[in-house]
Each structure stands twice: as C-alpha cells, then as structure tokens.
Amino acid sequence: MKLTERIVDSTTGLKMKSGSIVEIHVIQAESGEKSLMISDENESLTLDQDDIDSFIDFFGKFLESF
C-alpha cells in the first residue's frame, strides 16, 4: 500500500453542560489544506479552509449576542 497523503489531526474535546462531549478536529493535510470538523456522537460538521474564516466570524457574532 502506497501512502498518498499524510494527515495531522489535532483534537480538542469539550464537555457540555448537558454532559455530552463535542470534539473539534483541526485537520491539516500534507498539501497544507486545512479543515475543521465539529462532531458529537451522532453528527458532524466539516468546514474546508475557505469556510473556516466565515464560520469564526459568524460564531464570534453569535457569542457576542449573549
């Protein structure tokens, strides 16, 4: 089997007040392409590098609204 690409995954787990665990994965391929995956035991959301900045801006505004 030939290795075509190496991927580095940095994972952070967050425990919510409800007791569920949410994992945040920062994934970087050998090509330099980054993606962000947010997942729990049932679902996941994956954002490509182009979407990450928009998501961070959106999430920052969401947090400021409280």
Where along the chain do its domains lie?
Answer: 7-64
Q: What is the rounded CA–CA span in Å between residue 66 and residue 28?
A: 32
- Confirm if 9 and 25 have CB atoms less than 8 A apart: yes
- pLDDT score recorded for residue 46: 92
Q: Are the C-beta atoms of residues 41 and 23 closer than 8 Å to each other?
A: no
pLDDT tens by residue, the chain, 66 residues: 565 667 778 888 988 888 889 998 888 888 888 888 899 889 999 999 888 888 888 888 887 886
